[in-house]
Structure 1
Amino acid sequence: MAQKNPSFILHSQGKVLFEDRPIPELKSPYDVLVEPQWTGICGSDVHYWVHGRIGHFIVDAPMVLGHESAGTVSSIGASVTSLKVGDRVAMEPGVPCRRCVRCKDGKYNLCPDMAFAATPPYDGTLARYYALPEDYCYKLPEGMSMEEGALIEPTAVAVHICKQGGVKPGDSLVVFGAGPVGLLCAAVGRAFGAKKVVSVDVNEERLKFAKGYAATDVWRSKAGETVEEGAKRLVEECGLGSGADVIIDASGAEPCIQMSVHACRIGGTYVQGGMGKPDIQWPIMAMCTKELNVKGSFRYGSGDYQLAVDLVASGKLSVKELITGKVKFEDAEEAFKDVKAGKGIKILIEGPK
């Protein structure tokens, strides 16, 4: 069988190879075949490469990596009406069953049968071709680059987190963690109207970037202080009054999570966006007596991807600044090594030629 679908494949923990795979078939007349042009490297991709698993998702068979992609429509199914060959699209990489209770109540991101790119056992987008339903492909407006299109995926994650937090005009927002998602949460929060946006991190370079990107204020904890002391200092030094209206943790670090609860105002909202240890110590007394609204956030839901496209297209949010490196397809492994080493913010891999 003829194969011309070069792919970047994780074979096992720590072992990646380039291989030619069969070109995906369109399983539905509503599917389209896309040629990914640029793909961002997510922390989850690196985690699978280094550890071979994330929680109960275990790489026990070769898997194509990548899920933050934008590309060009190569062919379309017989029933496709919204796209044509040659359209440039951002690719939403998770397709739900569309039939379960969670899908029907509008929370398809919580579908137990979600087929998500580069999550075992499903292949990802670091290949010449990838098949998707037409309604999971979002046309890129004129003037938006394909590289920006690849960053719609993490932007949609930040949109969902900020929606979970109910960020609204005039709010004070604190975001713990100034990695790609944390930075985008700050940017989306500003776009949603937050008056004060504080980025918190321990990395001075990240904080410097955050201040020039979307944060109105930046803050760093001190060694030796308790989480209560840190929270008090954060609130005082950043002019948060009785506490922040909304706090998002995009770090997954236990001290940050604990400090967040203490730094929230009475009746405020806390959103867990970052993933860390499976179990942590939680300030339950502070949560209860403040009557905090505590929410989790997972990927993105209805309307989030399109809103991410619209925010970037309108200029209310910029993602260009996050792109700190671009490499050719054959250099994908080196790019993964750079991300693992903490180099840059977002590195993009070009599609195979």
Structure 2
Amino acid sequence: MRALVYTAPGQVQMQEQPRPSAVAGDEEIAIQVAGVCGSDISGFLGHSALRKPPLVLGHELVGRRRDGRRVVANPLVSCGRCTACISGAQNLCDSWKLLGLGTTPGTFAEYVTLPSGQVYEVPDSLTSEEAILAEPLANIVHMLRIVAPPAFFRFAIVGAGTMGALALLAALRIGARDVLAVDVNDERLAIMRQLGASAVVNVSGAEQAEQANSAAGSGYDVVLDASGSAAARQMAFDLCRPGGQVVLLGMGTQRSEVNFVTSIRKEHRVVMSFAYTPVDFRRSLDLLIAGEINLTPWTLRMPLERGQEAMERMSQHPGAALKMMLQVAN
């Protein structure tokens, strides 16, 4: 089968790879489009310790079953036997695996195999641009579920990429008000404005960062770090009100130093949010089918064969689009 293989930092190449074999309980999915996640870009740049060449990257997909039915898939496979899995926290499984991570080939290819229970049918009314958001949106559904924000909460988002945009749209639908978005990219901040952010601030300099603190006033009820950078993590704490919640979602690779002395005095509650459960994935898909979440105007599609160009575009010009899809088949 055709596959786009990560061969070295900053390099992907089209190669012929063996077609995966489905074991008992698995099914084969013919991939139509694969989504490019920020973690794929991190791997492409050589910044991910869990993504070493040679590897087929990617974990987001829209495809078809062998009988032609159109599907999306939950790429996070858990064991089903450990304490976490039995309690319904499959995202905390002792031995979870993710497509496109470690030694597991990903979705930048013609075929993948997954357990049948990980595969969800989607209606033809849902476009690929909408359906490809099922996996990233599941992260946001999970985050909001465990945070359980108060009614009419003030919300700040640090990082205006795909996750930040999805968090904004989802939060507005459950009653968020006075939403602030901060980033260092003006193009992405302009998109956040269009999506409904009350205020946006470019925090590329010390003076601009002070503007964000000024906009915070007494602080936000919930502050989401959707970036993962060291500076973003500290800013998330700076923007949070006394007694508020700081949510760490961004999976950056940098070590961070946070002024916890101030946070202790403010009784900040820190929530770590990782991935999602099958319940979150199902709710994410339901939101998309209902037309509640849509980033289509800011989604690009390029053929798999132009994968090098697509990865460079998203890594070098991140404001050009919120989402990149690789077209694998029609």
Alignment partner, residue 137 of structure 2: 155
- 1:277 CA displacement: 4.5
Separation of aligned partners in 2, 1:254 and 1:45: 20
- 1:212 CA displacement: 0.5
Matched, 1:348 2:330: no
Alpha carbons of structure 1 residues 93 and 171: separation in structure 2 relative to 1, 3 Å: same
Separation of aligned partners in 2, 1:21 and 1:217: 48
The 5 A counterparts of 1:247-262 are: 247-262=223-238
Alignment partner, residue 298 of structure 2: 322
Matched, 1:234 2:215: yes
Report the identity percentage: 30
In structure 1, the residue corresponding to 2:113 is in which secondary structure? strand
The unaligned stretches of length 5 or more in structure 2 are none
Matched, 1:334 2:295: no
Are 2:182 and 2:212, in contact at CA under 8 Å, matched by a contact in 1? Answer: no
Alpha carbons of structure 1 residues 221 and 64: separation in structure 2 relative to 1, 3 Å: closer
Matched, 1:119 2:101: yes
Matched, 1:33 2:28: yes
- 1:151 CA displacement: 1.8
- 1:189 CA displacement: 0.9
Alignment partner, residue 312 of structure 1: 288
In structure 1, the residue corresponding to 2:43 is in which secondary structure? helix
Separation of aligned partners in 2, 1:340 and 1:13: 12
CA RMSD of aligned residues (A): 2.0
Matched letter for residue 259 of structure 2: P
Question: Which of 14, 21, 29 is the matching residue for 2:17?
Answer: 21
Moved >6 Å (runs of 4+): none
Alignment partner, residue 271 of structure 1: 247
- 1:161 CA displacement: 2.4
In structure 1, the residue corresponding to 2:297 is in which secondary structure? helix
What is the TM-score normalised by the length of structure 2?
Answer: 0.92
Report the number of matched residues.
328
Matched, 1:201 2:196: no
- 1:309 CA displacement: 1.0
Alignment partner, residue 72 of structure 1: 64
Separation of aligned partners in 2, 1:106 and 1:293: 23
Alignment partner, residue 169 of structure 2: 187
Alignment partner, residue 210 of structure 1: 192
Separation of aligned partners in 2, 1:122 and 1:134: 17
Higher relative contact order (CA 8 A, sep 6+): 2
Separation of aligned partners in 2, 1:31 and 1:135: 8
Separation of aligned partners in 2, 1:308 and 1:187: 12
Separation of aligned partners in 2, 1:257 and 1:190: 23
Question: Which of 272, 280, 287 is the matching residue for 1:296?
Answer: 272
Alpha carbons of structure 1 residues 143 and 305: separation in structure 2 relative to 1, 3 Å: same
Alignment partner, residue 54 of structure 1: 48
Alpha carbons of structure 1 residues 152 and 58: separation in structure 2 relative to 1, 3 Å: closer
Are 1:312 and 1:319, in contact at CA under 8 Å, matched by a contact in 2? Answer: no
Separation of aligned partners in 2, 1:214 and 1:133: 38
Matched, 1:245 2:234: no
- 1:222 CA displacement: 6.8
Question: Deviations along 1:138-194, whole A, 9 cap, x unmatched?
Answer: 221341112321121111122222223323541111101111111111111112221
Question: Which of 36, 39, 43 is the matching residue for 1:44?
Answer: 39
- 1:31 CA displacement: 1.9
Matched letter for residue 348 of structure 1: M
Alpha carbons of structure 1 residues 321 and 156: separation in structure 2 relative to 1, 3 Å: farther
Matched, 1:94 2:76: yes
Separation of aligned partners in 2, 1:172 and 1:153: 26
- 1:249 CA displacement: 0.7
Question: Which of 209, 224, 242 is the matching residue for 2:206?
Answer: 224
Separation of aligned partners in 2, 1:322 and 1:222: 23
Between Structure 1 and Structure 2, whose CA radius of gyration is higher? 1
Separation of aligned partners in 1, 2:216 and 2:69: 48
